[in-house]
Amino acid sequence: MITRRRFLIMAGSALSAIALTATQAEKVLAAFAQPAIDQKNVKWGMVIDLRKFNELPQRKRRRVYEVCKEIHNIPVFPNPKDRVEWIWASDFEHTFPEQFNEYFEEQFKWLEVPVLCNHCENPPCTKVCPTNATWKREDGIVTMDYHRCIGCRYCMAACPYGMRSFNWRDPRPYIKKINTTYHTRTKGVVEKCTFCVERLEKGMEPACVEASEGTFMFGNLKAMESEVSKILREHFFLRRKVELGTEPKLYYLL
Amino acid sequence: MIEYALRGGRYYWTWIAILIAVIAVGGASYYYQYQNGLTVTGMSKEVSWGLYIGNFTFLVGVAASAVIVVLPAYLYDYKRFKNVTAIGEFLGASAVVMCILFIFVDLGRPDRVLNVVLNPRPNSVMFYDFIVLSGYFLLNIIIAWSVLAAKEKSKGYSTWLKILIYIAIPWAISIHTVTAFLYGGLVGRAFWNTALMAPRFLAGAFASGPSLLILSLLVIRRFTNFDPGYDAIKKISEIVAFAMVTNLFMIGAELFTVFYSAQPHHLEYFVYLLFGLKEGAMYYGKFVPWIWTSLILGIVSAIMLIIPKVRNTPRYLAIACGLVFISIWMEKGIGLIVPGYIPSQVGTVVEYWPTIPESFISLGVWAGGMLMFTLLAKVAIGVLTEGVVEEEEVEEEEVEELEEELEEVVEEKEYRCELCDAVFKNIDECCEHAEKEHKIAKASCDMACVEAEPTAKQYKCELCDAIFDNVDECCEHAEKEHKIAKASCDMACVEVDEE
């Protein structure tokens, strides 16, 4: 039996629920209607100055990798085979195997090279995805829809740089401190670096760039006057496995 | 038709029970994997495909057996293959089901599998693979079932069925080609990135699928009363021989190109596979014994198959086919998938070996496919042998009838001497009698001896006009009905002529 009082309570809560969803829907719609980035005139790119980066103390270099883990709720698993990483430290030999030779200067051999998704202009990983769960945005960022990914790992087979990670197990218990402003992933989906697209939309630089103390540079490659464009015009740079025609947008200065 | 699968002897049910037990173990392992994630497998960030995708790749090849049998039987109206067609197609369908299951158990989010259809991306090879595999499964099941149904009702094939059969032939080629493109199209994996991938797949497929079919047919020949015909097996074994040689040739061509040109990024995968890699003090070579076993088995089986004498002996053929199957399973299975990941994209060497849950799940999928094939083959054999049994029965009945007729003829054809009314069992006795008694030459014996009319004598009870076949019955009747003692039965029973 529904009493008058009970009916009023129910009606009231239903109305407020509708109002609440309406405001949330407005927010979501607003986010779509006014993109923070003018995607057509932007092509994001990153330059890493390896010499300057290696001059940083180890504590500061580590911070670059750690800040990414903290912001993006990246788990740390006990077993290395399960690991999930968006940016990590590699060395010159493994990052640029085709450049490496025995007469290379000693300093190059021991160079720490940060590797992350290259956000290729011709990404081999996106075209193989059977469900459209990963794609290249107009501004050049290769991104993921974690809700659509079926976990077939074809993109991991396709990526020539090994920059994609799979959640072999439930990541949530292994996140040190959950950042409630960013999403977590479920087990069974692939994830990767997104050039901190959520920060770019707020007008901020990617987290690793911010933590790098000026050794990482980030900007619009389409704009002639941007810092990255200027540097690339004036310096010799390396990109990973250029012979594959993937056109990485991550540039390394030596 | 389905009822044939429910009838079987002790061996049949034992086999089914074993398969179900293996499926149960596999199912439990899958539940464990579903709960804990794919971390329970040996796969890692570096080697992200393993035993599941290896088996999937191999089984796409096995599904070829259907086309091997369908193609000559229908395209050239090749009669010798007709008996094994349905079995081959069911084998193909079961292999495709295993393929789909292996993809499914490999998915991180199996609950979202329908996204492949709901959000398809037309330039993904995997999307096409999904389509061609599902289509191939449906085609095989529909065709084989309809072929059997037509056979059971002893009708010809309807037009739509023939059209489906013609569609199935290029379709079978497509499943291998698309699966090969799945790997061959990846620019970042030099181990797979070769145009030889699709032809190598086809050659391997045309060897492994039919060799499994031959093994199944040999088992069927042994344990059931269905004989697929050794002619068909012989013909298929020739196909296996050619395909296996082609397969080895292509492996050789691949190895020459890689080792002679020695492009480092192509070379390192093959060095890992064939000889193992050294990194500092560490040696990585888990797949070295694996691939050499496969190559040696492959070469031995090819030699066995090339020699006609060996190929045509069922026992050696079975061994050769078993070797082909194992060799290609090792080489086109994880032997093709795992080395594509080693060394990794960042140059590090992380090895892979399947774990126990992973192996149990794979065994479970294999058992599932075998169960499906056993049930379908049982139906096929049931339908195919039922016709044979009926024909044999008909023949036997006819023979019996003929014999009976003959006996009757012998009994009935008595000969009578017309001159003295004596009756003889056959014409010779009659002629002898005529010569002796009536001086009639044997040559003109027919003047005296004529066929005696069959004299079917019946007895009639004079008291009530009832008719009996013999005197005893009549006497009994007379005793019962008319109280006439058997001794004086002749009072009542008299002989009567027929009519």
Domain that holds residue A184: 40-253
Peptide bond into A130 cis (omega under 30): no
A19 pLDDT higher than 60: no
B416 pLDDT higher than 90: no
The arithmetic mean of pLDDT across residues B173-201, rounded, is: 91
The arithmetic mean of pLDDT across residues A228-236, rounded, is: 93
Q: Are residues A71 and A26 in the same domain?
A: no
Mutate to test the interface with B, among A109, A152, A153, A156 (most CBs of B within 10 A): A152
B301 pLDDT higher than 80: yes
> How far from the centroid of its chain's Cα atoms is residue A102's Cα?
34
B188 — contact with chain A (CB < 8 Å)?
yes
B49 — contact with chain A (CB < 8 Å)?
yes
Q: Are residues A175 and A212 in the same domain?
A: yes
Per-residue pLDDT tens for B338-351?
999 999 988 889 99
Window 253-292 of B, Cβ < 8 Å to A: 264-265
B44: chain A residues, CB-CB within 8 Å: 80-82, 168
Distance from CA of A188 to the nearest CA of B (A): 4
Quote the pLDDT of residue B395.
Answer: 45
In the block, tokens 């259907």 appear at B66
Quote the pLDDT of residue B303.
Answer: 94
In the block, tokens 């060395």 appear at A91
Quote the pLDDT of residue B497.
Answer: 65
Pick from B44, B21, B33: which is nearest to B353 by CA? B44
Burial code (b: 16+ CB inside 10 Å, e: under 16) for A218-251 equals bbbbeeeebebbebbeeeebbebbeebebebbbb
Distance from CA of A200 to the nearest CA of B (A): 28
Helix axes B314-332, B230-261, angle to 10 degrees: 40
Domains B413-451 and B457-497 share a fold: yes
User: Which range, of B23-27, B300-304, B415-419, averages the lowest pLDDT?
Assistant: B415-419
Q: Which residue of A has its CA nearest to B103?
A: A152
Instruction: Report CB contact under 8 Å: B186, A128.
Output: yes
Mutate to test the interface with B, among A131, A153, A161, A164 (most CBs of B within 10 A): A131
Q: What one-character DSSP code corresponds to residue B72?
A: I
Instruction: Report CB contact under 8 Å: B187, A124.
Output: yes
Q: Are residues A144 and A185 in the same domain?
A: yes
Q: Are residues A24 and A67 in the same domain?
A: no
- The rounded percent of chain B whose pLDDT value lies above 70 is 89
Per-residue pLDDT tens for B68-101?
666 667 666 666 677 677 788 888 889 999 999 9
With bands split at pLDDT 50, 70 and 90, how would you rate the model's confidence at A59? very high
Q: Are residues A153 and A174 in the same domain?
A: yes
Quote the pLDDT of residue B407.
Answer: 47
Per-residue pLDDT tens for B203-216?
998 899 889 888 98
Mean pLDDT, chain B, integer? 84
Residue B88 in contact with residue B232, Cβ under 8 Å?
Answer: no
Choose from A25-29, B75-79, B248-252 the range with maximum mean pLDDT: B248-252
The arithmetic mean of pLDDT across residues B1-17, rounded, is: 83
A90: chain B residues, CB-CB within 8 Å: 346
Span B413-451: which CATH code?
Answer: 3.30.160
A30 pLDDT higher than 60: no
User: Which range, of A140-144, A177-181, B139-143, B367-371, averages the lowest pLDDT?
Assistant: B139-143
Pick from B213, B146, B211: which is nearest to B379 by CA? B146
Distance from CA of A97 to the nearest CA of B (A): 8
- Furthest CA-CA distance within chain A: 88
With bands split at pLDDT 50, 70 and 90, how would you rate the model's confidence at A153? very high
With bands split at pLDDT 50, 70 and 90, how would you rate the model's confidence at B410? very low
More confident site: B100 or B154: B100
Q: What is the rounded distance in angstroms from the CA atom of residue A186 to the CA atom of residue B112? A: 13
User: Which range, of A6-10, A29-33, B263-267, B316-320, averages the lowest pLDDT?
Assistant: A29-33
Residue B351 in contact with residue B342, Cβ under 8 Å?
Answer: yes
Q: Are residues A165 and A217 in the same domain?
A: yes
Q: Which residue of A has its CA nearest to B125?
A: A128
A167-A171-A174 Cα angle (round to 5): 135
Residue B50 in contact with residue B43, Cβ under 8 Å?
Answer: yes
B337: chain A residues, CB-CB within 8 Å: none
Within a 13 Å sphere around the CA of B59, how many CA atoms are in the beta-carbon half? Answer: 27
Quote the pLDDT of residue B421.
Answer: 72
B187 — contact with chain A (CB < 8 Å)?
yes
With bands split at pLDDT 50, 70 and 90, how would you rate the model's confidence at A39? confident
The class that CATH gives domain B2-395 is: mainly alpha
Q: Which residue of B has its CA nearest to A188?
A: B108
The arithmetic mean of pLDDT across residues A6-19, rounded, is: 64
- Residue among B36, B126, B346 whose CB faces A169 most closely: B36
With bands split at pLDDT 50, 70 and 90, how would you rate the model's confidence at B145? confident
Domain boundaries, chain B: 2-395, 413-451, 457-497
With bands split at pLDDT 50, 70 and 90, how would you rate the model's confidence at A2? low
Domain B457-497, what fold? Answer: Double Stranded RNA Binding Domain (3.30.160)
pTM of the model: 0.78
Quote the pLDDT of residue A53.
Answer: 94
Mean pLDDT, chain A, integer? 87
A149: chain B residues, CB-CB within 8 Å: 108-109, 112
B393 pLDDT higher than 70: no
Q: Are residues A141 and A22 in the same domain?
A: no
The arithmetic mean of pLDDT across residues B449-460, rounded, is: 69
Distance from CA of A52 to the nearest CA of B (A): 23
Residue B176 in contact with residue B198, Cβ under 8 Å?
Answer: yes
In the block, tokens 């492994």 appear at B208
Q: What is the rounded distance in angstroms from the CA atom of residue A10 to the CA atom of residue A29? A: 28
Per-residue pLDDT tens for A88-147?
999 888 888 888 777 777 778 788 999 999 999 999 999 999 999 999 999 999 999 999
Quote the pLDDT of residue B167.
Answer: 85
Q: Are residues A129 and A236 in the same domain?
A: yes
Pick from B339, B187, B270: which is nearest to A243 by CA? B187
C-alpha dihedral sign at B167, B196, B179, A117 = negative
Q: What is the rounded distance in angstroms from the CA atom of residue B241 to the CA atom of residue B207? A: 7
Q: Are residues A159 and A59 in the same domain?
A: yes
Q: Are residues A23 and A81 in the same domain?
A: no
Q: Are residues A116 and A154 in the same domain?
A: yes
Q: Which residue of B has its CA nearest to A246?
A: B187
Instruction: Report CB contact under 8 Å: A169, B130.
Output: no
Q: How long is chain A?
A: 254
B10 — contact with chain A (CB < 8 Å)?
no
Domains of chain A: total: 2
Instruction: Report CB contact under 8 Å: B38, A129.
Output: no
B183: chain A residues, CB-CB within 8 Å: 157
Distance from CA of A95 to the nearest CA of B (A): 6
Quote the pLDDT of residue B91.
Answer: 87
Window 117-156 of B, Cβ < 8 Å to A: 118-121, 123-127, 130
Task: Write phi, then psi, for B78 (nearest 5 degrees).
Answer: -85, 105
Quote the pLDDT of residue B141.
Answer: 85
Q: Are residues A216 and A136 in the same domain?
A: yes
Instruction: Report CB contact under 8 Å: A245, B187.
Output: yes
